[in-house]
Each structure stands twice: as C-alpha cells, then as structure tokens.
Structure 1
Amino acid sequence: MKKGSLISVLAVLSLILLAAQPGYAISCSQVSSALAPCISYLIGRGGNNPSPACCSGVKSVKGMARTPEDKRASCSCVKAAANRYPGMKDAVAQSLPDKCGVRLDIPVSRTVDCSKYVYLPFFLMFK
C-alpha cells in the first residue's frame, strides 16, 4: 500500500473513532421535553398513575443517560426542572420511575446532590 493511501485510511479511521466516542449527549432541553408529559401527574392533576407518554419520557431519559457524565447532566436537568414547579409533590416525583417500571439511577428530586451519581461503580450504573 502506498504511503499516501495508508495516511488517508488512517485519517478516515480516526474520524470514525472520534465520531463514535460517547460524549455529553444530554441537554436539559432533551430531558425537559421527554418529561413534559409528566408535569400534570407530578403536580397532582394527572390522576393516580402517570400517562403512557410520561412513562415513555422516563424511559427515554434513562436511555439518554449512558455515561457517568450523562447521568450527572441528566440529574442536574431533572433537579432544575423539578425546581421550576413549586407545586410538584416530592413523594409522587420519587415514585415516578417505579410507577413507570423503570429503574433510574438518579432520583427525581429538588434537593439531590447530583455529584454523587457520577462516581458510582461502573457495574451499578447500568442495572
């Protein structure tokens, strides 16, 4: 193989590897959009159970948060969103993942310390 061809192949492979690296894929707008269907339930106006759209959003947030950094970002976004709704019922918010049949690695809370969710052992992050 010629030297120029080898360099081209290596450059393309490098770009592919860089594109495939997981990054900070979560934004607060994504988290807020996913959890928007849950607001009426969380403030006590949505009945006794979250809607299917709400549970779909909870599952979506779980799917977005794959790395420790993503989990911390997701936690911060959830905390910020919770603080925007003073009428949110804490007990209802904390039970939301269970009601949706989803195990989140972050609590839905106004007071959570999101920094402690980054340093969980790797095997606990994806239960």
Structure 2
Amino acid sequence: MKTNGTLPVIVKETIDLNDKEKQIFDRSHKVIAHFNLETKLCVVGGWVRDKLLGKECYDIDIALDNMLGREFCEKINKYLVSRSEETQGFDVIQSNPDKSKYLETARMSLFHV
C-alpha cells in the first residue's frame, strides 16, 4: 500500500480483465496468428494504471514493436473480412513534432469499446 499524502492508495498486483477486454485481446492475438505476424503487442498507458488501481477504463493503448498502428488496423479489417464480419473504421493521427506528437497513432473501436 502506498500513500499519496493522506489517503492510502491500494495498487493491485494483477489485472483482472472484463469480458470486453478479453474479447479485444483475444481478437488481437487471432489477427497475429492468422497473418503469421512476428509482432509483439504491449499494453501501455493509463489503462494499465487504472486497472492496477481497480478502476474501469476502456481506452486501451497498444504499442507495436514492428509496424504502425495503421497497418495493424488494416490487418484487423482483413481478418474480419476473412471471417465475413463487419469491418471497423479507424482514425490515424499523424505525427506532428512541432506539437510534441512524435509518433503516428491509430485509433479503432472493437466490440463497441
């Protein structure tokens, strides 16, 4: 247990996934297996913090080691087509070093999250 001045903050040692999160991570692993990708996915950011604090969060940030987010979103949609499922739209936020945005990022909603 850590304290932030006056109130104790309880930090969990493990992350419990809800059903939607399980679906999202399962789908991501299936996409990697389907295309035989050698990509590693790392969940990062506020979602990890919030889950360790026992809070719900639906903004899951995933870092990829060898491809752009846009490419992975395209792979997800190709996978969905191969299964006759509805494809998902996605947004690409371009890098902009002048505004301290050094990496291109992509945003996609899966399972209404």
TM-score norm. by structure 1 comes to 0.26
Higher normalized contact order (CA 8 Å, seq sep 6+, divided by chain length): 1
| Pair member with larger Rg | 1
Structure holding more helix per residue? 1
TM-score normalised by the chain length of structure 2: 0.29
